[in-house]
Amino acid sequence: MSSTPQDPNPQGPDYGRQPGGHPGQYPPPGYGQQPPQKKSKKKWAIGCLGLIVLVIVLFAGCSALLGGGTDDPAPTSGETSSTPSSAATEDAPATDETPATAESGPAEAETEADNAEQSSATVAQRNAIRSAENYIDFSAFSRSGLIDQLEFEGYSTADATFAVDSLDIDYNEQAAKSAANYLETSAFSRSGLIDQLMFEGYTAEQATYGVDQTGL
């Protein structure tokens, strides 16, 4: 008759013995416990995302605060440079145009008077004026010489004088032209040329001025 093998430890399992170990040895710490589970990375990712969103919100708020103080556009270079020049223009003393107006006033008044005088002239006087202008454009004359030329053409002394006096003639310039014309055709001494110009009707002052312009 076979015998049933008996449990060598009738009091139950020996927890103080490791498999393959010896009786009386204790298990190492944590023996028989489940290993700790690793924490999920999902919570860590959510925390990082929230931190990033917070940083973005703070940065946007700071940008809005800093940008709010610069609503007015900065002046352009043209506006900046125009301000000093405008101030300089305002500070510059105004030019006095009164002397120029005063100088041109008598000349304009004289011209208007001559025009009014010519408009009221007779037909003979207007013709004498046209003849006198043609002679002055062609050659040089003294006042008396031009009157004599118009009388030679048949105008009365009154009409010839009216025509010559109605024109604005520089007789110093006419004397200078006459002196130059004489020197182109003949030789003269200084005193001889002055006498010749006076013979043509120029005054002593006009004749002297004309000869001086020739360098004689």
Write out pLDDT tens, residues 96-150: 554 444 455 666 666 666 666 666 789 999 999 999 999 999 999 999 999 999 9
Give CA torsion, residues 130, 131, 132, 138, to 10 deg: 110
CA dist., res. 173 & res. 199, Å (int)? 17
The residue to which tokens 């940083």 are assigned: 55
**What's the pLDDT score for residue 16?**
47
pLDDT surpassing 50 at residue 15 = no
More confident residue, 42 or 194: 194
**What's the pLDDT score for residue 190?**
95
**What's the pLDDT score for residue 50?**
74
CA dist., res. 180 & res. 12, Å (int)? 161
**What's the pLDDT score for residue 205?**
97
The mean predicted confidence, pLDDT, of the chain is: 74
CA dist., res. 165 & res. 66, Å (int)? 85
Cβ-based neighbours of 135, under 8 Å, separated by 6 or more: 141, 146, 149, 150
Share of the chain above pLDDT 90, in %: 44
For the ranges 23-32, 46-55, 112-121, 155-164, the lowest mean pLDDT is seen at 23-32
Residue (of 105, 123, 103, 113) closest to 165 by Cα position: 113
**Stretch 86-99: mean pLDDT, rounded?**
52
pLDDT surpassing 90 at residue 38 = no
pLDDT surpassing 50 at residue 206 = yes
**pTM, two decimal places:** 0.47
More confident residue, 171 or 35: 171
